Amino acid sequence: MLFLHVKAADVAITFVSPIDHYARVGVKAQIGGTINTTNGACQVWFGERLVNETTATQNNVSVTFIVPPVPRGNYTLILRDILANINATTWLYIQSTYYLKVKAPEAPRQLQQSDSVEVNVNLTGGVANTVYVANITVKTPANQTYFALVKLSNTTNTGTALNLTTLYPASFTGTANTNFIGTYTVAFNKTLATDTFSVGLTNFTQYHRFQNVDIKAAGYNQTENVAVRITLGSKLVYSVNVTAGEGGIVHTTWAVPFNASIGTYNLNITSVSTVNKTKKTPVDAQAFTVPGFNVNMTTRNLAQDLVSGVAVRLFERGVSLLNVTSDSSGFCSTLLEIGNYTYEAYFKNAKVDSGWVNVAEDTSTEFTCKLTNLKVLVVNEALVRIPDVSIYFKPDNKTLVPTDINGTVIERSLLPNVTKPYVLNASRYGRSFNVTTIPTLLVNGSAIPWFNVTITCPVLKLQANVTGVSGQPVVNARVRVRDLVGGLSNEGTTDAQGKVVLNCTFGSYSLRVYGSDGIELHETTVEIFQNRNLTINCPLYGFAIHVKIVDYFGQPISNVNVTIRLKSLAQFSHLTLANGSAVFDNVSGDTVQISVRLAGHTEVNTQNTFTINEQSIKGNSVEFQFKIDKYIVLMGFLVETSHLAVVLLIVVSLLVILAIEIYRRRKHVKLEKESQNKESDA
């Protein structure tokens, strides 16, 4: 019978898992839905059992529960809004589920021939108050099948039935046995549930040295002679003939020898009797392993740094076993059996360590190799540390990383005792300044963790002769040099002859010259790989500025206040002469601001800023002209152009009026004369 979904107001079940509504006892089920009461309490009922109680999130509900032990059948699921007392329902059908489990040992232990094994069967979701009979079958590797009918316990009202342990082969019909190696298949009523177990000849599938391999086979005739053989590859490592005992069981042991090799061993048992010879299918043959233990090795130098590329050779009783090489993290690993091993460690074909490795289990060990770290410190004669020094390293023929900000570079894991000496060729900016030879890295004949070398970079003299635009010495100029890669710098002030001497560490420098007023006069780059005498011409020092002021028509204006403001913020003022010029001598810098103020004016009439370079300086001076379009020089006085235009307009107008009046009067006189002449003629 199916229970249909019932909608009651807003209480609803919208989701069920399993989605087909068919479930088993003990599995997790889930329902989702909504209730009327926001954040309200709700319950989930499975039939007449309360299986969960929770609180809604807003109006949404999602609940999981474990299906309780009940008989097979259809059950109502109820979602109840407690406060509103409203239910929503759906259904869940509980199916019968069958279980079969063989109690076999965990690997690497295994069952041997003639051993017994426990079989357990049970079911859930059965018909209530019913006694089930399970037909348990076992199919052997020899394709023989044996069965046992096992009565289970009454399911009562839980629908669950159990059985006591059933022992195979003792509880099974016929001549049930475990006389064959391979996989045995166990079934509950053929298809309801299945499981498997395996049977071998040995009690384990892997062994270590000194352990006993227990060997047992069954299914032979009593007193039958059989041969037990163990091989490793094509090599026979053990052979013995054994007489089958009571029940046709063959039993013997083999002690894994102290020198057993790691690998897969093959065990074979065959009858060697001449009469009544047993032939088994499948034959009695099984493999087992001597796996060894994980041996993890870490290679370090004397300073305990990890070292890659170390070849480790392992020996047992003087016989070479294998070679392994440490990786980039100084790690290598292999498999070794129980025993005492010697090792030799080689780096670049030179032996750097040797010793013993004792193995009784998984082992980790560290080898300290006779390898030394070389630390190179580069300083100048004042013991200032020099960065960015390049060092070409022999005999490896490689360039080390440049020295760091502390003037150091480290080359790790070097052989301390070498036939060829170590050679360090130090250079800056591609120019060599020191070659140091190190015969060995030994101290008093012994290898040490760190070998320190100090290289001195020479300090050279730079004499700078600073001159101005006309070749005159620049006095009190500040000359500053700074290494192109930074860190090293020096500065000094020129004397009365414009000279200064600076001590500079071997290298390339940027050089700047500043005037006494702080204005930068010159910048260049200089290589100091030897003592140098350098003349530095500063064309932006000691030149003259000529400022000329003219009117609208280009006439010079005198008595104009001209002020210049230099880059150093120094400020100077002069009045223009009769030629309209103001001259400022001994000026320095590449920028000047010029302000012009006419006589009698309180505000600046015009102002501009100019950039000065070497090209703009002509004949030790630079000229600037300001044209004051607003004024005209008239009879020694400044007249505004607009005022002069008005005056000219008035004068022109008066002249025009005067001309008209003269013309009019002359015409009037002419007319009068003509009139008088006519009267006289009459």
Note whether 232 and 261 are within 8 A (CB).
yes
Q: Which amino acid is at 107?
A: A
524 and 546 in a common domain: no
169 and 133 in a common domain: yes
Indicate if the pLDDT at residue 617 is higher than 50: yes
Long-range contacts: 279-286, Cβ < 8 Å, 24+?
A: 280/142, 280/179, 280/180, 280/219, 281/142, 282/141, 282/142, 282/180, 282/181, 282/182, 284/113, 284/181, 284/201, 284/217, 285/181, 286/181, 286/200, 286/201, 286/202
Indicate if the pLDDT at residue 184 is higher than 90: yes
Other CB atoms closer than 10 Å to residue 480's CB: what's the count? 17
- Dump pLDDT digits (tens) for 207-225: 999 999 999 999 999 999 9
Q: What percent of the chain is predicted at pLDDT more than 90?
A: 77
- Dump pLDDT digits (tens) for 490-537: 999 999 999 999 999 999 999 999 988 788 888 999 999 999 999 998
State the pLDDT at residue 1.
37
Is residue 385, in this structure, part of any structural domain at all? yes
Note whether 265 and 229 are within 8 A (CB).
no
411 and 384 in a common domain: yes
Indicate if the pLDDT at residue 286 is higher than 90: yes
State the pLDDT at residue 71.
97
State the pLDDT at residue 644.
60
Cα–Cα distance for residue pair 458/236, rounded to 1 Å: 76
Is residue 4, in this structure, part of any structural domain at all? no
469 and 488 in a common domain: yes
Is residue 247, in this structure, part of any structural domain at all? yes
DSSP reduced 3-state for 26: coil
Q: Which of 449, 452, 447, 453 is nearest to 351 (CA)?
A: 447
The tally of domains found in the chain comes to: 8
Q: Which of 323, 259, 262, 319 is nearest to 297 (CA)?
A: 323
Is residue 6, in this structure, part of any structural domain at all? no
Q: Which of 255-269, 326-340, 357-371, 626-640 has the lowest mean pLDDT?
A: 626-640
Q: Which of 475, 465, 459 is nearest to 534 (CA)?
A: 465
25 and 39 in a common domain: yes
DSSP reduced 3-state for 628: coil
Mean pLDDT of 558-577: 87
State the pLDDT at residue 586.
79
Q: Which of 236, 73, 225, 285 is nearest to 159 (CA)?
A: 73
Is residue 5, in this structure, part of any structural domain at all? no
Cα–Cα distance for residue pair 598/602, rounded to 1 Å: 8
Indicate if the pLDDT at residue 8 is higher than 60: no
149 and 62 in a common domain: no
Confidence bin at 246 (pLDDT 50/70/90)? very high
Among 618, 634, 650, identify where a domain stops: 634
Q: Which of 31-45, 75-89, 368-382, 609-623 has the lowest mean pLDDT?
A: 609-623
The average confidence (pLDDT) of the chain is 92
381 and 351 in a common domain: no
Show the domain range for 364: 293-368
145 and 165 in a common domain: yes
State the pLDDT at residue 6.
39
State the pLDDT at residue 679.
64
Indicate if the pLDDT at residue 681 is higher than 70: no
Beta bridge partners of 286: 267
419 and 331 in a common domain: no
- pTM for the model: 0.72
378 and 363 in a common domain: no
Specify the CATH number for the domain of residue 58: 2.60.40.10
State the pLDDT at residue 640.
75
Is residue 205, in this structure, part of any structural domain at all? no
Is residue 206, in this structure, part of any structural domain at all? no
DSSP code of 11?
B
320 and 338 in a common domain: yes
306 and 219 in a common domain: no
Specify the CATH number for the domain of residue 376: 2.60.40.1120
Cα–Cα distance for residue pair 478/559, rounded to 1 Å: 38
Q: What percent of the chain is predicted at pLDDT more than 70?
A: 96
Among 515, 537, 559, identify where a domain stops: 537
Is residue 485, in this structure, part of any structural domain at all? yes
State the pLDDT at residue 4.
38
The sign of the torsion formed by the CA atoms of 606, 610, 615, 621 equals positive
Among 290, 317, 332, identify where a domain stops: 290
